[in-house]
Amino acid sequence: MTIKKNVYENTVHQFNKAADIMKLDADVRKILSCSTNEITVNFPAIMDDGQVRIFTSYRVQHNNALGPYKGGIRYHPRVDINEVRALATWMTWKTAITDIPFGGAKGGIKIDPSEYSISELERITRRYTFALGSNIGPEYDIPAPDVNTNPQIMAWILDTYLSMMPPQERQRCYHVVTGKPVELGGSIGRNKATGQGTVFIIERWAKDHDFDLNSCTYFVQGFGNVGSWAARLMKLHSSKLLAVEDATGAIFNQDGIDPDDLYAYAIKHRGISDYPKAKMIDHKSFMSTTADIFIPAALENQINADTAPLLDVKLVAEGANGPTDTDGDTILQEKGINLLPDVLCNAGGVVVSYFEWLQNKRSEFWDLDEVDSKLRRIMNNSYARVLDAVDAYHVDWRTAACIVALSRLEKVYKGRGIFP
């Protein structure tokens, strides 16, 4: 898969388009067009062979008008300031669309985690947390998992952060990070939340379009947290998974692929490559799969001028952040393909992160029914808000979603005014 442009250009384009159409207040526009804080830290960590290596890391805090900064941490060799800036901006929009009391942030380390041992990753994670210091905090900026990070990494962040606190203050700071293992204060349902939210939004779309998910076909790019959960939850509708692509390759089976069986295989073999119950295909064939729904759940800029013409689907449901670039958007619209945009479709993760944060603050533990029913309600309400904006402004879904977010933020800034 190719990653072409600077992804932040897409964000700026989306922002300007929505701001123009809704006539966003000129002063609010200036504020929301840049991030509040952009932290770059180069930090050392000791490798297993005793050598010291320097790592470059970021935390971008885009906006906190609606609540503490909130957003995941990504470990990937391609992480750079523009990518983190784009992801942080989308977080601001996502929390505004879902109407949860958080702002937007994102962080990342420029690293290929597959090149490091577990103990090296632990030291790198702890040293990154130490380097961020008071730039994160339970009422200030709350990280969570993203690409190549997981509950174990959140546990190391938690432990490092708490270890830097005076002992008598530690118990009240468990909500400094979300996506923790359940035994360490994580929420039931957080691990599947992004995939679950994506499927709730697909269900809502299907209801609106009188579309039968039980007999539909779909394919998924990315088979990590978001992609594998989305695929496994679509299975509950008996929808047929035709193709999957991850960093190790792409596979196809016209008779369908069992997502649970593939998941077990992918865990064991560290990827889907050579899965025996499907054939390997190339990227172009993968993107050309004829199906009802495509769920991109890997990285940015996957649906672009080269690949969008290949798509033969009715719906793109964006599990990933920024999988469609501006050319891709135009081509999807020309082809009449429906789009459920990332800032709506994958918001389930941050919504259940909010639930985790609340449970920690209140010393509560909710069961899965409570988490899922509250998540479904928030996703449905968010969908309805975006649909209203589609109708009111006669725009595409991505622009409408951005308008919902900017309108909410505009009200807050106009109500509070600009200090001094």
User: Which of 194, 239, 289, 307: binder of ligand NAD (CB under 6 A)?
Assistant: 194
Q: With contacts defined by CB under 6 A, how many residues of the chain interact with ligand NAD?
A: 24
Q: Is 151 in the site for ligand NAD (CB under 6 A)?
A: no
Query: Is 411 a known active-site residue?
Result: no
Nearer to ligand NAD, 19 or 382 (CB): 382
Part of the chain binding ligand NAD (CB under 6 A), chosen from 24-32, 164-172, 297-305, 403-411 = 297-305
Catalytic residue among 17, 70, 94, 106: 106
Which one of 142-150, 164-172, 325-333, 355-363 is the stretch in contact with ligand NAD (CB under 6 A)? 142-150
Q: Which residue is nearest to ligand NAD (CB)?
A: 224
Give yes or no for residue 299 binding ligand NAD (CB under 6 A).
yes
C-beta closer to ligand NAD: residue 114 or 290: 114
Using CB under 6 A as the binding rule, the residues of this chain from 303 to 332 that contact ligand NAD are 319-321
Q: What is the 3-state secondary structure (H, E, C) of the chain?
A: CCCCCCHHHHHHHHHHHHHHHHCCCHHHHHHHCCCCEEEEEEEEEECCCCCEEEEEEEEEEEECCCCCEEEEEEEECCCCHHHHHHHHHHHHHHHHHHCCCCCEEEEEEECCHHHCCHHHHHHHHHHHHHHHHHHCECCCEEEEECCCCCHHHHHHHHHHHHHCCCHHHHHHHHHHCCCCCHHHCCCCCCCCHHHHHHHHHHHHHHHHCCCCHHHCEEEEECCCHHHHHHHHHHHHHCCEEEEEEECCEEEECCCCCCHHHHHHHHHHHCCCCCCCCCEEECHHHHHCCECCEEEECCCCCCECCCCHHHCECCEEECCCCCCECHHHHHHHHHHCCEEECHHHHCCHHHHHHHHHHHHHHHCCCCCHHHHHHHHHHHHHHHHHHHHHHHHHHCCCHHHHHHHHHHHHHHHHHHHHCCCC
Q: How far is the CB of 122 from ligand NAD (least distance, A)?
A: 18
Please report, as a single letter, which amino acid is at residue 71: G
Both tokens assigned to 333: 């619209």
Measure CA of the first residue to CA of the last residue in the chain; give whole Å.
49
Q: Closest approach of Cβ 236 to ligand NAD, in Å? A: 19
The minimum distance between CB 52 and ligand NAD, in angstroms, equals: 27
- Least distance (Å) from ligand NAD to the CB of residue 165? 26
In the shown chain, the binding pattern of residues 64 to 103 toward ligand NAD, with x for contact by CB under 6 A and - for none, equals ----------------------------------------
**Cβ of residue 78: shortest distance to ligand NAD, in angstroms?**
9
Residue 301 binds ligand NAD (CB under 6 A): no
Number of residues that make up the chain: 420
Give min distance, CB of 217 to ligand NAD, in A: 20
Question: Which of 122, 141, 146, 372 is in the footprint of ligand NAD by CB under 6 A?
Answer: 146
Report the site for ligand NAD in 208-247 (rule: CB under 6 A). 221-227, 245-247
The distance of closest approach from Cβ of residue 296 to ligand NAD in the complex, given in angstroms and rounded to an integer, is 8
Residues in region 365-384 near ligand NAD by CB under 6 A: none
Interface with ligand NAD (CB under 6 A), residue from 35, 148, 324, 360: 148
Which residue ranges make up the site for ligand NAD (CB under 6 A)? 1, 145-148, 194, 221-227, 245-247, 297-299, 319-321, 346, 349
The residues assigned a catalytic role are: 106
